[in-house]
Structures are given as structure tokens and as C-alpha cells.
């Protein structure tokens, strides 16, 4: 017998989403006939990892300096330990990924040189900001680190705004990079601005320049809805900024895929967003999309895909206040890696990627890391791939 109530809910849900599908724009996608990625190995931890009296978790970004030292940033908002990043060595070659060895933990500092407080202490704390860190990048020129915080839109007095900052290797504040006013939480406004927990998830320094790219995980509210299983997403914005002059150079529209895994039941939540971006050269980039569908074991609800984009001839949308109203041309993208095709039994919440060490066979390596959300049902996972750059 058909459950009329649940069936009616499903029909209404479908019709609402169908009306949106008619007006949404899908990024043109091509697929590589041969993937440039070959999995070397993965290491994951089923139980909590502790290092120097801190819990290693919530790893949302990763990068490597020319000496082969990796930086891993945690999105802990000082709830468990002060906001921090770790340095580590990864032992791997073209055949095997052997181990990860943590070297140090460094606490990030506010402009007043304090560690970041936990949100519950903001009312009484002198500091009125938190670090909700999501991405980290090493800059060789300045021997410093750039990082993003996606802020917090659940503070009882006022939202904590996201930011892009530069810090030295000791975690001390160096500079803050200005972002356009539209990339803010707006109080008592559900029609414009950033979505909660879906802001500056991705950061990339453009080689041979003073420019960077920062990407929102989800569309701005005025740009439309997030994707789900039934419809393509509205565009997220890739923002290009000169970090030395604070000049806002351009914005580009990138449309994430529909969620490939149907949630259970069909009316349950599913979404997809951009969790990292990485340069190939000064024009081409890799974009990491991470989706999750409710109703499954956490490992089975994830879907991870990597796309190649080229910004050299891409249209800009810098002057468009609302991409749900103003026509736009989305960035073309090419699927280069689908994690469901690499034979792993478990893929967790992959949020960070970076270039790794050059391999002895002359090829490059690339490293991915997962954010376990400090959830005992998830895993802290690191994957290393060999990459044939000739196929990009």
C-alpha cells in the first residue's frame, strides 16, 4: 500500500526542485579518457590521534613547502584545543605510502598575539573573533602561510566574519587580505550574503604572481540554491585578489554537480560543494568537489570528484549582484578524478589537497586529506596519488 502522506511530500519536493532545475545552469563537463591519477596508498585512523597533548582532527587543509614539510590545519574553533596547525613528514615513494610522522603543533594567533578563544568565551573575552580554519597555503617568497577562516554565523550577539590572513611559521599574525563586502554574514538578512558553514573553504596562491583565489563552498544566498540529488547547484564564486595591494581583480562562476548519490529517503538532505582549489599553472586549476547524502553510513554517503578548469578565457561575474537573476557564463570543467573509481572501500570527508614530493620516476605526487569532524564514526584519512601532468 502506498503511503499517501509520504508520497505527497515527495511529489511536492520534486515539483519544487523541478521548477528550479528549469532555471539552473550546469557547467559544461567533459571527461578524461584516461585519468592522470594513480593511487599510491592511503593511511587512515579509526581512533583519535593525539600529539603533544592535542587531538589531531578536523583537518581541513594541507600544503607542502619545498623542503617536503607538510602543514595541516585544523578547523577546531578552540573547542578542544586552541586553533592550530600541525607540521608533519609523509613517508612515501611511487610504490608505497608508509607513514605520517607529526613534527610539531603551532597555535594560530590573533593580531593582538593571543590564541583564539572558544566561541562560548567571546562574551567575556577581550578577543571578539574566532578561527574556524579551512585552508592553508605556503608562500615561498615570504616564507609564510596564508589561511582562511569561514567565520561563524551562530554567535548570539553578532556574526563572526570570515577572513583570509597571512601568518608566519610561528602562527603569528602578519596581514589580513581584504575581501569584497558581499562575502559577509548579514544580521537578520536571509536574502543576501554567506551561507552558514559554507564560506571560504578553499584557497590557492597563483604561482609567479601576487594573486590568490578564494572560493566559497556554497553559493551566496542571493545566487541561488545548493545542489542536491535532483538538481544542479547554483554557482559558487571563485574570487581573484592581489594579496599585496588588496585589489579585487575578478570573480568567476563555478557550478557544482548534482549530488550523485540519492539520499534515503528521497526527501532527505543531500548537498555538494567546493572544498579546495589547487594550481596546475597560472591559468589552470584543480577543483575539489565533496558531496554527502543522508541515509547512509558516513563512508557510503560521500562522493568526491576533482575537476580541471582554465580561467584564461573564462567569463567574469564581478559586477553581478545576484547570479540567480543576472545571466552568467559558468566555467567549463573537465572531470579528471572520481574517487568512487579508485577501488577504496572507504572514502571519508575529503576537504584538502596539495602538491606533494617529486617521485623518483620523474612524476609528481598529490596529497588529499579528510576532515573527520571530531566524529568517532568518521576517519582521519590521507591519500597519496602519483599524477601524470601530461594528461592534465
pLDDT digits (tens, 9 = 90+) for 49-96: 999 999 999 999 999 999 999 999 999 999 999 999 999 999 999 999
At residue 18, φ and ψ (nearest 5 deg) are -65, -40
Closest by CA position to 294, among listed 234, 228, 380, 339: 228
> pTM for this one?
0.91
Question: Mean per-residue pLDDT for 282-300?
Answer: 91
Alpha helices in the chain (DSSP H): 4-21, 298-301
Mean pLDDT of the chain: 90
Q: How far is CA 13 from CA 9, 10, 232, 266, 267, in A?
A: 6, 5, 15, 9, 7
> For residue 13, is pLDDT > 60?
no
Give the single-character DSSP code of 221.
G
Residues in CB range of 340: below 8 A, 6 or more apart: 260, 303, 304, 347
CB 38 within 8 A of CB 386: yes
User: Of the given ranges (7-11, 26-30, 106-110, 374-378), which has the lowest mean pLDDT?
Assistant: 7-11
Least confident of 28-37, 123-132, 195-204: 28-37
Q: How confident is the model at residue 328 (pLDDT cuts 50, 70, 90)?
A: very high
What's the pLDDT score for residue 204?
98
Average pLDDT over residues 304-326: 94
> Which has more pLDDT, 178 or 126?
178
- For residue 302, what are the contacts with CB-CB under 8 A and spacing of at least 6? 290, 291, 292, 347, 348, 349, 350
Residue 144, all three cell numbers: 609564510
Q: From the centroid of its chain, how far is CA 93?
A: 26
In angstroms, the CA 256 to CA 392 distance is 20
Cα Rg for the chain, rounded, in angstroms?
20
**In contact, 355 and 365? CB cutoff 8 Å:** yes
Q: Which CATH class, in words, describes the domain spanning 4-391?
A: mainly beta
Please answer whether residues 254 and 236 qualify as being in contact, where contact means their C-beta atoms are separated by less than 8 angstroms: yes
CA atoms 15, 305, 211, 57: torsion sign: positive
Question: How high is the pLDDT of residue 124?
Answer: 67
Amino acid at each position: 500500500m502506498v503511503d499517501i502522506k509520504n508520497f505527497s511530500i515527495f511529489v511536492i519536493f520534486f515539483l519544487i526542485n523541478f521548477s528550479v532545475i528549469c532555471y539552473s545552469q550546469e557547467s559544461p563537463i567533459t571527461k578524461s579518457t584516461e585519468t592522470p591519477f594513480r593511487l599510491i596508498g592511503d593511511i587512515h585512523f579509526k581512533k583519535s590521534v593525539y600529539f603533544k597533548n592535542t587531538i589531531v582532527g578536523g583537518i581541513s587543509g594541507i600544503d607542502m613547502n619545498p623542503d617536503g614539510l607538510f602543514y595541516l590545519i585544523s578547523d577546531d574553533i578552540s573547542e578542544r584545543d586552541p586553533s592550530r596547525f600541525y607540521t608533519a613528514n609523509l613517508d612515501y615513494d611511487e610504490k608505497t605510502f608508509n607513514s605520517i610522522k607529526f613534527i610539531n603543533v603551532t597555535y594560530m594567533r590573533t593580531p593582538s598575539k593571543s590564541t583564539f578563544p572558544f566561541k562560548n568565551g567571546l562574551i567575556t573575552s577581550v578577543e571578539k573573533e574566532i578561527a574556524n580554519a579551512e585552508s592553508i597555503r605556503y608562500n615561498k617568497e615570504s616564507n609564510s602561510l596564508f589561511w582562511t577562516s569561514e567565520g561563524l554565523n551562530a554567535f548570539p550577539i553578532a556574526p563572526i566574519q570570515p577572513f583570509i590572513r597571512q601568518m608566519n611559521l610561528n602562527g603569528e599574525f602578519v596581514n589580513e587580505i581584504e575581501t569584497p563586502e558581499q562575502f559577509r554574514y548579514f544580521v537578520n538578512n536571509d536574502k543576501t550574503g554567506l551561507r552558514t558553514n559554507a564560506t571560504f573553504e578553499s584557497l590557492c596562491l597563483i604561482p609567479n604572481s601576487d594573486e590568490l583565489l578564494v572560493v566559497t563552498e556554497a553559493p551566496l544566498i542571493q545566487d541561488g540554491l545548493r545542489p542536491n540529488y535532483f538538481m544542479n547547484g547554483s554557482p559558487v564564486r571563485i574570487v581573484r585578489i592581489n594579496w599585496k595591494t588588496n585589489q579585487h581583480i575578478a570573480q568567476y562562476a563555478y557550478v557544482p554537480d548534482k549530488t550523485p548519490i540519492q539520499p534515503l529517503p528521497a526527501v532527505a538532505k543531500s548537498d555538494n560543494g567546493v572544498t579546495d582549489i589547487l594550481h596546475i599553472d597560472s591559468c589552470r586549476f584543480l577543483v575539489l568537489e565533496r558531496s554527502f547524502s543522508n541515509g547512509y553510513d558516513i563512508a557510503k554517503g560521500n562522493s568526491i570528484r576533482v575537476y580541471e578548469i582554465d580561467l584564461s578565457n573564462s567569463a567574469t561575474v564581478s559586477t553581478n549582484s545576484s547570479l540567480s537573476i543576472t545571466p552568467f557564463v559558468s566555467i567549463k570543467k573537465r572531470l579528471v578524478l572520481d574517487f568512487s573509481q579508485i577501488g577504496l572501500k572507504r572514502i571519508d570527508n575529503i576537504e584538502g589537497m596539495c602538491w606533494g614530493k617529486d617521485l623518483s620516476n620523474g612524476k609528481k605526487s598529490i596529497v588529499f586529506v579528510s576532515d573527520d569532524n571530531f566524529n568517532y564514526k568518521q576517519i582521519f584519512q590521507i591519500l597519496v596519488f602519483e599524477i601524470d601532468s601530461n594528461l592534465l
